[in-house]
Structures are given as structure tokens and as C-alpha cells.
Structure 1
Amino acid sequence: MRLTLQKERESWRMSDLDDFHLHLLRQVAEDASVADEAAHKRLFPPPIRAAQNDDDDEFLEDWKDFVADELEQQFAGDVGTVLADLDNVRQHRGIKEGQEPRHLLEIPLDHARAWFSALNQARLMLDQKFNLHPGGENEFRLFVTEEESGGIDVKDRLAVYMRYEFYAAIQEWLVQRAMKLP
């Protein structure tokens, strides 16, 4: 399972992708989806905790109308950019009989922020849905109650956490390499 990330002049690329990598990347849209009110609050928290007076009520309504709705549209666009880029994957090199195919994904450099955003949203929503870091802890906990885990078993919880960390590794590379100013 080898994956190579490289920055070019006008693009960045993922090469040596196998089918499993592509499967993980194609799950970004589902993982980033905002499924319920708690997830929505996690992704789009209001700037103040609660309204104290009529001015605060008006401010929170403006926040929702002008900021939160725009952020939601931007995040949806970022996920759309990732999905559109994934449509451009191509076979990386010739395959000998019995070898697993390898793929290449070349992405415009100006899509790096959209990828970072979509991967971040996916990670936040995975953590929200499956409570990967219970109680706001920094450490992943594999063994939690069924209620805390979002109803998945230990094996599936580990698979979800693997996706979470896969997305984090790509985000780290994007920050260090692709989004770095020249």
C-alpha cells in the first residue's frame, strides 16, 4: 500500500494509488455529510453561546443567513471539487498480469484548499458521528460503549479511524507542501 504525493509547478499529484486508496478518497463526500443537528452545530457553531437580548437574536439570525449558510455552500463546493478531481483519475502505469492496478490523480494546485477543507470536514463529521475522541480527549479510544460508538463494532470503528488518519495525513502534506507559499 504505497501512495506518493508530489507538488509540481501548477499541480499536485497522488501517484501509486491502489484501488483501496481510491475507495477511501471516494468516501470523503459521505463522510463529510452533515447528518443531524449536532453535526451541524459542530461544523457551523454560532459565534456566541446564547442570545441575551434582541440585538443578540438579530445578530445570530444575521450570522445564520450571511455567514453559516455561505460557509455551508462553500463546504459543499469543496466536496464537489474533490469529487470532480477524483473523476480525473487515470491508470498510472502498465500492469503485468496478476498485479493490482496503480492510479494517478493530478490535481490543480489551486484545488489544495478545497481538498484540505473537504478532508477536514470529513474528519470532523467522522469524529462527531462515531465519537472517536470521547469527551473531547486528544487520544483515540477504540473500546467504548455501543451507544458511544455510533452503533458500530470494534472492527468497523478501527476502519473509520483509519480513514480519519488517512485524511489527516493528506491534510498534513497539503499544509506542508501544496499550500505552502513559494
Structure 2
Amino acid sequence: MKAAPTLDGRIRIDIESEVDWMIMQAIPHDARSSGIDLADRLGDVPDVGSLKADWQEFVVPELSLGFSRQLTTIEQVLAGLDAEAPAPIFIVKEEAELWYGGLNQARLALEDRYHFHGDDPEEMTPGKRTAWFRSQFYTTLQSLLLEFLMRD
């Protein structure tokens, strides 16, 4: 897989193999695989006065909608591709935050599930190592988004 900025201000991702295709499809799957609703997890604030109730009522639903929109954006792009001969994926500036957030959800869910910090990839089980490599790809793609599409 190749990912790079284009001269016209987009990020282009070229899927070159079946493994690349599986990695791209794993983004929303990884984000949802932990079984933990990230919005609910972020809604676990101290119960001081009405803070917790207000947070749950007003903030968590907006977070849930935003997180869902991020993953839906990625899923829609992937659904429009032919797995046998996928076209390049272009991420435009207007969708950069959605992609960044979806990748972040996937990366956080993988970290929550596998606890990579401090582990040597050479000593990981094959499943954990595969997840670690996906997490590294998500981080790299997030870096491209930040550097080329999300800064002013």
C-alpha cells in the first residue's frame, strides 16, 4: 500500500494487494471490535453535582453521533470500491477530520484490546503483531492527514 500527498492537496492511498484491502476494511472493524463505546467511556466523568448527568445528556449523544459519522465516512468510501480492482482512495481536506477520528477510534480500540506499550513486536503473538502493524499504519496515515490536510 502506498499513501502520499498529491499536488492538488489530497492524500492518495493506493491499494496494491489483498492484504492492503483487508487493512483498509479493518479500520471500522477495529474501531468497533473492543465492544467499548468510546463516547460512553469518555462520558465517565466524576459525579460532582449535576456534571455527570449533564455530560451524559448533552455531550455523550453528540460524541456518539460524531464517532459514528467518522466510521460511516470511511465505510462509504470503502463500499464504493471494487475489491478485485480497487481504485485509489483520495482523502480531501473537508473529510480529513472524519478520517483522522475514525483512524483514532481504531487505534485506541486496538490499544485497549492488546496493550502494545513497551512490547517488542518480535515477541508478540501473530494476532497481536498483525494488530500492532495495523495500528502503526493508522498512526502513519493520521500523521499524513495532520501534516498535509489539517494544518493551516
The TM-score normalised by the length of structure 2 is 0.82
RMSD: 2.9
Gaps of 5+ in 1: 92-99, 134-138, 145-152
**Aligned letter for 2:74?**
V
1:84 correspondence with 2:84? no
**Aligned letter for 1:128?**
D
TM-superposed deviation, 1:71: 0.7
More relative contact order in 1 or in 2 (CA 8 Å, sep 6+)? 2
Alignment of 1:43-58 (within 5 A): 44-46=42-44, 48=45, 50-51=46-47, 56-58=48-50
How many residues end up aligned between the 2 structures? 151
Q: Judging by fraction of residues, say which structure has more helix.
A: 2
Distance in 1 (CA, whole Å) between partners of 2:134 and 2:7 is 26
1:174 correspondence with 2:140? no
Gaps of 5+ in 2: none
Amino-acid identity (%): 21
Q: Which residue of 2 aligns with 1:35?
A: 35
**Aligned letter for 1:157?**
K
Q: Which residue of 1 aligns with 2:11?
A: 12
* Residue pair 1:112, 1:178 contacting (<8 A) in 2 also: yes
Q: Which residue of 1 aligns with 2:126?
A: 155
4+ aligned runs moved over 6 Å, structure 1: none
Distance change >3 Å, CA 60–CA 107, structure 1 → 2: same
Distance change >3 Å, CA 88–CA 154, structure 1 → 2: same
Q: Which residue of 2 aligns with 1:125?
A: 109
